[in-house]
């Protein structure tokens, strides 16, 4: 006997997949490369000097972790004074750090590959993220 819930689940999965594909089909995305003077898209002959970069504000989830190091006293200018302590383990509990800004623009280097979304009829280009080879 066939499971009617299984048939319903399969039907829902198929319809959701169609809807997602349809929603994303109108969003053009391009791969490009950051250059010394701008952005070069794979499928566009001219280099783009004036482009936008996505800016993300997020919450950083830190798992429990530890760091081994030393401590040293510092003067008013944060210059070390005295002798460093013996090596010590510093244990950190899980933590959420809110309103962490991911500033992609500061980290883009020439030669890096990026995902770009053209907007405003191709008048503006937004670099969404850096992309890397998953097998590297």
- Alpha carbon distance 83, 112 (integer Å): 43
Average per-residue pLDDT in the chain? 84
Q: In this structure, are 109 and 46 located in the same domain?
A: yes
- Alpha carbon distance 115, 16 (integer Å): 25
Q: pLDDT, tens digit, for every residue of 28-77?
A: 889 999 999 999 999 888 899 999 999 888 999 999 999 999 999 999 99
Q: In this structure, are 42 and 32 located in the same domain?
A: yes
Q: In this structure, are 64 and 92 located in the same domain?
A: yes
The side-by-side arrangement of strands in the sheet containing 52-53 is 47-48, 39-41, 30-34, 113-119, 124-131, 52-53
Taking alpha carbons only, the member of 127, 89, 88, 87 closest to residue 108 is 127
Q: In this structure, are 48 and 107 located in the same domain?
A: yes
Provide the β-strand partners of residue 2: none
Domain that holds residue 108: 26-55+103-136
CATH code: domain of residue 40: 2.40.50.140
For the whole prediction, is pTM greater than 0.85?
A: no
């Amino acid at each position: 006997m066939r499971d009617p819930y299984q048939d319903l689940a399969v039907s829902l999965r198929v319809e959701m997949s169609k809807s997602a594909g349809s929603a994303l089909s109108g969003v053009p995305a391009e791969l490009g490369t950051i250059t010394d003077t701008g952005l070069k898209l794979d499928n566009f002959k001219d280099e783009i000097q004036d482009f936008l970069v996505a800016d993300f504000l997020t919450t950083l989830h830190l798992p429990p972790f530890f760091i081994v190091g030393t401590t040293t006293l510092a003067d008013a200018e944060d210059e070390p004074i005295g002798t460093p302590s013996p090596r010590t383990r510093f244990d950190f509990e899980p933590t959420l750090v809110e309103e962490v800004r991911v500033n992609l623009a500061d980290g883009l280097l020439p030669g890096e590959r990026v995902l770009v979304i053209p907007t405003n009829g191709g008048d503006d280009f937004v670099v969404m993220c850096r992309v890397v080879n998953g097998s590297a």
